[in-house]
Chains A and B, each alone.
Chain A
Amino acid sequence: MTQRQAAIVGIGATEFSKESGRTELQLAAECAKAACDDAGISPKDIDGMITFTIDNSDEIGLARCLGVKDLAYTSRIPGGGAAAAATLYHAMALIDANVCENVLIWRAMNERSQYRFGQTPTNMSGYTAGHGTGSLLWCIPFGAMTPGTWAGLAGRPYMEKYGVTNRDFGLLSVQQRKYASTNPKAWFYEKPITLDDHQNSRWIVEPVLRLLDCCQESDGAVAILVTSMERARDLKQPPVRILGATQSIPRNVEVIANFYHDDLAVMPEAEGTAKRLYKQTGMKPGDMQAAMIYDAFSPHVFMQLEAFGFCKRGEAKDFIASGEIDIGGKLPINTHGGLMGEAYIHGMNTMAEGVRQVRGSAVNQVRNVRNVLVSSGMAGAILARD
């Protein structure tokens, strides 16, 4: 199977902060260099570059910083963080096809100090072609202008159908902050919360999201370096095989403004990603020892746990309440603290944690990890030991 040939050999990140004090291009260059150093590959030998459509750092500008000799391929993925894992999918395909040798994936953002996704937008130019978010235009005159409002509208039918409350969401938040509290890289290092803290945090969107159901707004950058499995075995780190990677954008599904598909209580994109990924790899939910799941907002995690078959529809609340996502549970998730606890680098830092779990170098290391699912909702990958 051709999908078995790509491997992640380097991860790199800047510190995660609320004010980086430097440009996004500099952040991009720093994390890319760190990923190359981690792998033992010269930045000059990068020949493929992938980022998000909404990343502000120019690939040519970044290539110039790194001294890239000859770039063979560049691409960008639409769909914001929901498509984060699609970067791995592109990188895998490039390696499989022998188009590139060393593919750099990066995401750099001053998403707290320079602009804020959580505030009312000051210009509407994001709602144009190439970002996968055109339908958001239909929300603006009605007071739904932030990701929280869109996620709230998309999350409520799930709560209504399965009797899920905001308190149920709180247990996820508490668990992720527990992981973050022991992760020195996390913004919320040594700052665990209780369920009462969650229930006393202010409403962002009634009755779905409180403050502690929302990811952070962060400055920072993360890079991932992908090469061939063959080459990976000669490099510095234990190779992390990309066993499979895929994306799913079913009909009438759209990133975050997801109000038009048949059953609003499910995430068809996550179900589609799961189906395709399990078919591609021959694996099943029970083969995963951990999962890194995009947690922009609590409901997204619940719906993805169900879509990937870790529990039945409507049962994520019970799965979480019974401790299954804790370090000793059936499926520890977001062991770095997630986008809520560590930082919001648009899902890239969550994929990097998947790499650390497979390497065995995570601060909250799960025992005997062979396979880790990384899901950003609309795309996913299974990372595995060599």
Chain B
Amino acid sequence: MTAPNEAAPAPDAVPTAAKPTRLAPIVTLDAKFFWDASDREEFVGQQCGACGKFRFPPAPMCAHCNSLDTRIVQLSGRGKVVSWIKPIHPPAFGFKEPPTVAVIELEEGTRFVSNVVGIAFEAVTMNMAVEVCFEATMGNHKVPVFRPAQ
């Protein structure tokens, strides 16, 4: 595992207006493939080469059949909102306005914590269809976020 502090600037660093202010992901060795793909605006996941099950968070072994045969595959990027909140206090670091933080249930069956963008917090509904897009972070990285499905 890489040192957790490497990718994340201290929260008291002063963000400038022109640059992205969102914190970069903390990259562990087991999840490096995901964040590298994300930097290329690709949304990928792990699928078991033996039984076909998808898994998240990333792991080196399939929990269903214990196979180590792991494939990194493109995910559809489509899913639905199954939980969503607005953090008010303390203010979410790196956001000018409180973000909509959500749990997205992906078509492939796994879940992913992210943001819902492009729609007011009050307008989000349970099971609302969303699709992936990307936003920039500090340190020239990108992370997957979700907007209402077109």
Contact = CB atoms under 8 A, between A and B. Distances in A.
B121 A206 contact: yes
Contact of A145 (B28, B92, B143): B92
A143 B87 contact: yes
Nearest to A161: B126
Contacts of A259: 83, 103, 111, 113
Contact of B113 (A129, A138, A207, A208): A138
Where chain A touches its partner, the secondary structure class is loop
A198 to B, nearest CB: 16
- For B1, B12, B89, the residue with the greatest tally of chain A CB atoms inside 10 Å of its CB is B89
A154 B101 CA distance: 11
A143 B95 contact: yes
B99 to A, nearest CB: 4
A127 B4 contact: yes
A48 interface: no
Contacts of A160: 83, 126
Interface of B: 1, 4-5, 8, 10-12, 22-26, 28, 31, 56-57, 63, 82-90, 92-95, 98-99, 101-103, 110-115, 121, 126, 137, 143, 145
Contact of B137 (A137, A141, A145): A141
A359 interface: no
Contacts of A157: 82-83, 103
Interface string A109-152: 00000000011111111011100001101111111111011001
Contacts of B22: 141, 143
Nearest to A135: B57
Contact of B1 (A118, A128, A149, A153): A128
B63 A202 contact: no
Contacts of A128: 1, 4
Interface residues of A, number: 44
A128 B3 CA distance: 9
B93 A143 contact: yes
A139 B90 CA distance: 15
Contacts of A251: 63
B113 A139 contact: yes
B83 A141 contact: no
A206 B85 contact: yes
A73 interface: no
16 contacts: A121-B11, A134-B57, A137-B4, A139-B113, A141-B22, A141-B25, A142-B99, A142-B145, A143-B94, A145-B93, A153-B84, A206-B85, A206-B98, A251-B63, A260-B111, A264-B83
A312 to B, nearest CB: 22
